[in-house]
Structure 1
Amino acid sequence: MDIGSAALVVIDMQNGFVNHHSGHAVPAVSDLIAQWTAVGRPVIFTRYFNYPGSSYERFFQWHRLQEPPETDIVPELAGAAAHAHKVIDKTGYTLFTPEADELIRQAGWTDLVFCGIATESCVLKSAVDAFERDYAPWIVTDACATDAGPDVHDAGLVVARRLIGSSQLVTTDHVVGQLTAYSGAPVLE
């Protein structure tokens, strides 16, 4: 992982995706953001917005996340989002909107470190899209979750191993070790 050319990408940490299955990710992501920003590296947040007539409505009959408070970043991370390098709004699974493509290209980031919700959909799709664009995708497995439960989270990680490589799935401890090596000093504990 090249921390000096990396951005932390916080996927869809929104009220509408946090429940009893995914709530444990909020403090994990918060801690990761604190350690990441302590060494001066950029953070990007994404926010998903559903809309009337979307594929999610047509094919899943899923009408949620169309307005606040469901679409709001969870309160515990709202301050971090307000100070993020960028918040990318999206209407699909992936980070890679035209705005995000341009941002990443202009910034020269080579490594994208993903955390957030949901492991099997938006995190996975964003990581695979990063892989297919020749970026180094990293999924921080213990800072991801899904509102659909632990079995679905685990299934997402199985698919991620197949699509981006087992070595691209890391833990928070691994990332903290990389941050420490990058900064030359211990990061926040």
Structure 2
Amino acid sequence: MTSNRAVLAVVDVQNGFVRDESRHVIPVIVDLVERWQAAGGDVVFTRYFNYENSPFERLIKWTQLRDSPQTDIVPELAPLAAKATAVIDKHMYSLFADEKGRALVSECGWTDIYVCGIATESCVLKTVVDAFELDLTPWLIEDASASHAGQHVHEAGVLVTQRFIGIGQIITTSDISGLHRAR
């Protein structure tokens, strides 16, 4: 009998991604992380860092999130990130963008990855799709994710995610109220 091991991935909840359109998700994520950690579950935070002449700068003309305080995890989550299993710094969309994220998942033996954060249509979406392609079981936590571009972009991200990983993999925090034990 195979034992599933779960991790909660909190994607890019950083000062530079928080706007009026995404701010509402922060207390939802704080509550989820507190409950997940209290249940003994593993939590990974990601932080995105832009760099000079990145594809984001060259192709999208987006030059944000290069330095603190934009790159800092929001103050409400910073103490929880300090207690996390890991904080992965990245230069692309996904937790799995480089070897660090893939190695961590392999080392810890995680099979299920519960993903929340900012932005649903990009970094969150790419993380769940990459998890799917790595033969993990991804879960998008819809009410703990948001887009700084607005609700309609969040909804578009959820729709595309459903097409990629299956409608049954889109859940809410109430669906995991019992919290899957990590051990």
TM range, smaller chain: over 0.9
Cα deviation for residue 4 of structure 1 reads 5.3
Structure 1 segment 23-172 matched on structure 2, within 5 A: 23-96=23-96, 97-172=98-173
CA distance in structure 1 between the partners assigned to 2:3 and 2:81 by the alignment: 20
What secondary structure sits across from 1:47 in the alignment?
strand
Asked whether the 8 Å contact 1:114–1:137 carries over to 2, the reply is yes
Alpha-carbon displacement from aligned partner over 1:101-127 (angstroms, at most 9, x marks no partner): 111001110000000000000000000
Asked whether the 8 Å contact 1:4–1:41 carries over to 2, the reply is no
* Paired positions, count: 180
Who is 1:15 aligned against? 15
Cα deviation for residue 20 of structure 1 reads 0.1
Cα deviation for residue 165 of structure 1 reads 0.2
TM norm structure 2: 0.95
Of Structure 1 and Structure 2, the greater helix share is in 1
CA distance in structure 2 between the partners assigned to 1:51 and 1:103 by the alignment: 24
Alpha-carbon displacement from aligned partner over 1:24-48 (angstroms, at most 9, x marks no partner): 1100100000111111010000000
Who is 1:186 aligned against? none
Matched letter for residue 73 of structure 2: I
Change (3 A) 1:54 1:3: farther
Matched letter for residue 113 of structure 1: Y
Asked whether the 8 Å contact 1:3–1:111 carries over to 2, the reply is no
Alpha-carbon displacement from aligned partner over 1:63-82 (angstroms, at most 9, x marks no partner): 10000000000000000111
Unaligned runs of at least 5 residues, structure 2: none
What secondary structure sits across from 2:63 in the alignment?
coil
Asked whether the 8 Å contact 1:47–1:90 carries over to 2, the reply is yes
What secondary structure sits across from 1:103 in the alignment?
helix
Cα deviation for residue 133 of structure 1 reads 0.5
Asked whether the 8 Å contact 1:15–1:71 carries over to 2, the reply is yes
CA distance in structure 2 between the partners assigned to 1:61 and 1:159 by the alignment: 24
What secondary structure sits across from 2:45 in the alignment?
strand
Unaligned runs of at least 5 residues, structure 1: 184-189
TM norm structure 1: 0.92
Asked whether the 8 Å contact 2:22–2:146 carries over to 1, the reply is yes
Cα deviation for residue 177 of structure 1 reads 3.1
Asked whether the 8 Å contact 1:3–1:178 carries over to 2, the reply is no
Identity of aligned residues (%): 50
Matched letter for residue 148 of structure 1: A
| Root-mean-square deviation over aligned CA pairs | 1.5
Asked whether the 8 Å contact 1:8–1:42 carries over to 2, the reply is yes
